[in-house]
Structure 1
C-alpha cells in the first residue's frame, strides 16, 4: 500500500447533499412522516432525523464500494482537493491508507 500522507478526508458537498436528498425522500415514505405521528425521530422543523431509513442490506449495497472521487483530501497545510487532481493522483481505493 502506498502511503500518501493525507491528514484530512471529507465528503464533497454535492455528494453529501445528494445523500441527504435520498435520505429525506426515503424517510417521507415511512410511518414517522405521517402528520399524526410525533416522536424523537422528528426535529423542531418536522424533518425526520433517522440515521438510516434503509434496510441494512440496502445500505450495504449503497456503500460497499469506496469511490475516491466522492472525497476531498489534503496533506498538512494544503487545501482539500479531489484525489487525482494533484501530482500524487489516487489510482484506486487500494492506494489510500487509513490510519
Structure 2
C-alpha cells in the first residue's frame, strides 16, 4: 500500500499514524512495508505548519525513512499564526 499525500503537516502526520498502525502487506517471503508518497517541493502548509516541525523531507532524503510523531492525537500542533496569514477574508 502506498498513501499519496500532497497536503499539510496535519495530513502527513495523520497518514504516518495510519501507516504505522498497519501490518506489512503479505506477499511471499518479504512482505511489503506500507509506504508514504509525498511531494518534496516547498509547501508552507507541510513544512511550516507544525509548531514542533515535521522534518519528513530531510529525513526521507537522508535515510529513506521517517519517524512517526509521538505527541497526542495525530502528533502535530498547527501554528495559528501561519493559518491566520493564509486565511481568506
Give the TM-score taking structure 2 as reference length: 0.29
Give the TM-score taking structure 1 as reference length: 0.27
Higher relative contact order (CA 8 A, sep 6+): 1
